[in-house]
Structure 1
Amino acid sequence: MFNAADVFAGVFELLDDDYRYLALNRNTAAFYGMAPAEMIGRTGRELQVTREQIDRRMTTLSHVWEHQKTVTLEYAFEHAGRTGWYLGTFSPLPGRLPRVGFVLVDISARKSAEIQAAEERQRLKVAMEATHLGLWEYRIAEDRVIWDRRMRDLYGVPAEGAIDFALYSSRLHPEDAEAAHAAYRAALAGHNGGAYTTVHRTREGRSLRSSGQVLFDDCGRAVRVLGTTLDITAEVQAREQERLLLAELNHRVKNNLATVQSIAVQTGRVSPDLPTFLDTFEGRLVSLARTHDVLTARAWSSAGLAEIVGRELQGFGGRVSLSGPDVALPSGAALAMGLVLHELATNAAKHGALSADGAIAVDWRVEGREVCLAWTERGGPPARQPTRTGFGTRLISKLARGDLKGRAAFDYAAEGLRFTLVFPRPDQPAAEEPVRVPAPSWP
């Protein structure tokens, strides 16, 4: 037994700061490239063992002798370019002299495999953390589900406690459970080599993509399933948002084309010649574009009334005064308001206060559930009731009733046009009673 082929054995005598070999087998001597007889009486220092290794070994040997206790431990050792891992048992020997017997087994292959496995586990852990994947296993015969921490979080399961197939199934969204089970059954039957992927929701509405691989024994029986799961809730929501945005874009494009077509037809009917048509038509399209710019800057969620008024009237400088709080208008109401203001400004420039030395005051205020906007012209020619209703007036009235869900009123006063528009406040429900149109309150 002492000279067994896979065992290093011998006896140390403890010195003050080193150890000496009193006995050893062939394997121990061969490690140092000597015969056993040559090794007897040699110290660690004489065998060119490093001071660090001698001190580490002396710590263990001294502990064994002082406590008269057998110690077993794993340790790494290097000598003359040879390295390895050893499982050593050190025992005190009877007598007054400090002597310790040792038996070592070379565990380098096992330790290397353990280190490699630990490195693989660490790499897998890093990869799982980086990709936000949950790792799972199902042991079919035991009906035992093994989930890591992320899997338990994804399915809303406590950090502790056993999990079986029934518990997993109970966490699936009822509308998606059958499809997930069908994919699993197909994989058990060997379809696609036992590999499968499912996309399903949990009971809490979280969307998950799970990929699994069924493992079969030599007889073709399914024994285990390994897989990963990824939370794709944000991805699913983004796709749904994209679908809604595309539908909304399609709706807006159709509405805009219909609006442009209507403006073109109506402008053409009342224009005496092509230059007049082009000038009027272009102005209305530019008005649409201005409001589009405001909405685009806010991702088409809303546009401020103050900014719309300011953009439409910015070309008239100090001849226009504006007053009122900012009110967020939804996209449809914003486009309508831009066109209303453009028509009023165009009329003022051609026939009203801006065609002479007059000025315009635009005031709006919030009263309860309503927004009241007043347009008052001063210093221009007297306003006269038109003999026929032009397209601009019809367009304003239509937009006020339709997109703004309100009512408009024109007062053709001698000192200038007064226009009032009242519509429901966008973030409030529409008033049940008819919309009232108060008289302009300009001094």
Structure 2
Amino acid sequence: MKDNAQPLPAGIAAVLGAPDRLAALQAAMPVFLGPDPDFDDIAGLAAGLVDAPMAFVTILGETDQWFLARRGTPEIRFPSQETFCARMLAEGGALMVADASRDARFSGLPSVIGEAHIRFYAGAPIVMDGQPIGTVAVADRKARTSAADILLPQLARLASLAGILIRQKEEARRRMLAAEVLSRDEKRHALALDAANVASWMWDLSTGIVSGNETFHRMLGFRTSRPMSARTFFGAVHPADRKTTIDRLRNALATGKEYDGLFRASKSGRWLLGRGRVHEWDAEGKPTLFLGINVDVTDGQLASERTRLLLRELNHRVKNTLAMLQSLARQTLRQTSDPVEFMDAFAGRLQSLSEAHGLLSDHEWGVIHLKMLLQKQIMPYALDYESQVEIHKDEVELGPDEAVGLGLVLHELATNARKYGALSVRAGKVVITARIVNEEGRRVLNMTWHEVGGPPVNPLGRRGFGSVLIERSLDKILGSSVHVEYLPKGVTAVVRMPL
């Protein structure tokens, strides 16, 4: 069939390869899993409109047309350049061809001159986000000099139904994946946040509801993790500290400045360091959403002067990290306004920061070895850490800012590799090379992350917040950079960081 294919006209190639169209297709259906029986009824209804022996519901990629449902053919894939549907998209809307063998636009197609012997065709585009991503079509081996006047409008209605179904199924797929990730990671995340004594919470001022992770509720002395009213939240603050805490929160709400407070929890008696800021305002400029974090600093409050000095260093580091947490929170909040979904999406990145803080705390906020950071951030995502992670490195010691920033980079690379890359299969491997070079009398870490043996990388995949976060995590360290390449054989990242 391909030997008879005509060269693809430039106009059709432009339509198939249009970036906006491909982006809409990627958003609507990132992964094609084969024919889907949920679309069979749409193909059946289309065939019944004119008693056609062939009917299709398709997704039209740049190079391949995939069949979600089909009647009258065993095919599940066909080259895009050889299809009626590609030419229909170039025409700009629904299309009907009475006799393809007498139409110069179609007479040379393999499906016309080959075994399929198609003569009659009618189809309408499936439009998502203003872009045509597929078709609902019918065909016959016999020419039809006339067809019902309402055929194309009816096919257009079926195409609209197909688009709605595609959107609903993709939303369901994403919810299912999110639920699977939550089910797998929830216990590990909870233990990590508990060990690091970092709690996060969100106050919806429009409803007066405060929600947070399990660590937040435990720090306040609550047995359950249910959302609570603001009155209950303030009631959990020790009476001796309550007025000062409320006054500082009110000042943050009124001025938009950062909230910074130290208080005891009434029930647990723990000393908590709290920080936060307004993140959303309504059209009248009134605050509607407040995001905060708490760190348990009880041991520091009760310890010796040396421990109090360590707490001041921790306070300084939390301030430095807060800017990163707020950036993460803002980006995550743009994706969802649901408190539960926000906490799920935010927990993994907060865990990475918490683990880096935990390592630094163990070493009294001095320096930690790169090997420890690599193991802490990558091991939870490897199927077999010893066989899948190959490290070639010099002896590298990292300071607090360097460890926190690089830890977040490693977390995003590792989670991405576990979901889509080399760490998702046992044959995959991550090769890390870390060398110290001397540049004008200054030590600089050059590190590469290279994935091999994993699934092929789709270069057309959309650039998500995780990719942006990787490249910006070291912005605070002057002269540093992270460059990520999504090569077909595996993701490669190059890190440069002055020490």
Taking structure 2 as the reference length, the TM-score comes to 0.34
Higher gyration radius (CA): 1
Q: Which has the higher contact order (CA 8 A, sep 6+)?
A: 2
TM-score, scaled relative to structure 1: 0.38
